[in-house]
Amino acid sequence: MHRHGAHLMDATSARFALWAPDARSVSLELEQQPAIELLPEDGGWYTGVAPCRAADRYHYRIDGELQVPDPASRYQPEGVHGPSQVVDVGAFDWQHPWQGRPWHEAVIQELHVGVLEGYQGVARRLPRLAELGISAIELMPLGQFPGDRNWGYDGVLPYAPQHSYGSPEQLCALVDQAHGHGLMVMIDVVYNHFGPDGNYLHQYASPFFREDRQTPWGDAIDFRR
């Protein structure tokens, strides 16, 4: 089973994997590098290893025509239509080891990160929330969505935290600081549909969806697969 997306193998290379069962060919386009053809494998996968570093940006090119971000992107610094960015998910230096808290202690405050000026804005409010007796913060959906601020329920890239709220490192710092104040962190997620703007999956991975089940945002995801 392939790991979807870009995963650093060392400081100078990463393995890329895209599930594109409707595609005839897939190439990887790293900025300022020649395109690299990914190799087709069983089950609709295209994979390859390429020289790159953390923070490098890339697209996939489907059938030599359609340029798309990585559906398993960890960061979209230019939004849903822009390039994806390679992220070293193990690089953050966590300061507060966390063992959790019992659920009977949960006093949950739901927060809209955009209204509070991003991840750093939420972090500035943590001491006050802890002082009030809040024991958990619940962040409204963070998966990359179109524009700079909304409710988050039309996200299209569920593994990429919204770029207008801050970087993945700033999100990690928010979680780390919350743990330092004894606060649990929960995140609302949307896993039954993708938003319409920036969702390219219909064009190269139609088996992601089932036409017989609809949501207000289009075809439902086919979890039978």
Confidence of residue 214 (pLDDT cuts 50, 70, 90): confident
Give dist(CA 52, CA 54) in Å, integer.
7
Read off the pLDDT of residues 187-197 as tens digits, 9 standing for 90 and up: 999 888 898 89
Looking at residue 1, its pLDDT comes to: 64
- DSSP secondary structure letter of residue 56: -
Domain 5-91 classification at class level: mainly beta
- Going from the C-alpha of 207 to that of each of 43, 47, 92, 201, the distances in angstroms are 11, 19, 35, 9
Read off the pLDDT of residues 68-89 as tens digits, 9 standing for 90 and up: 999 999 999 999 999 999 999 8
Long-range CB pairs of 122-131 (<8 Å, 24+ gap) are: 122/174, 123/173, 123/174, 123/177, 123/178, 126/177, 126/178, 126/181, 126/183, 127/181, 129/181, 129/183, 130/181, 130/182, 130/183
Q: Which two tokens stand for residue 156?
A: 């299209």
Residue 15 falls in which region: left (phi positive, over 0), alpha (psi -120 to 50) or beta: beta
Looking at residue 76, its pLDDT comes to: 98
Mean pLDDT computed over 174-192:
96
- Give the side-chain half-sphere CA count within 13 A for 203: 16
Three-state DSSP class for 165?
A: helix
Read off the pLDDT of residues 100-136 as tens digits, 9 standing for 90 and up: 999 999 999 999 999 999 999 999 999 999 999 999 9
What average pLDDT is seen over the chain? 95
Q: Which two tokens stand for residue 39?
A: 């190799």
Higher pLDDT, 150 or 1: 150
Read off the pLDDT of residues 17-76 as tens digits, 9 standing for 90 and up: 999 999 999 999 999 899 999 999 999 999 999 999 999 999 999 999 999 999 999 999
CATH 3.30.750.90: which residues of the chain? Answer: 103-187
Amino acid found at 15: R
Could you give phi then psi for residue 17, rounded to 5 degrees?
A: -145, 130
Q: What's the first-to-final CA gap in the chain, in angstroms? A: 14
Looking at residue 217, its pLDDT comes to: 78
- Going from the C-alpha of 106 to that of each of 137, 138, 140, the distances in angstroms are 9, 11, 17
Q: Which fold has domain 103-187?
A: Transcription Regulator spoIIAA (3.30.750)
Residue 50 falls in which region: left (phi positive, over 0), alpha (psi -120 to 50) or beta: beta
- Give the side-chain half-sphere CA count within 13 A for 107: 8
User: Is 219's pLDDT higher than 90?
Assistant: no
CATH 2.60.40.10: which residues of the chain? Answer: 5-91
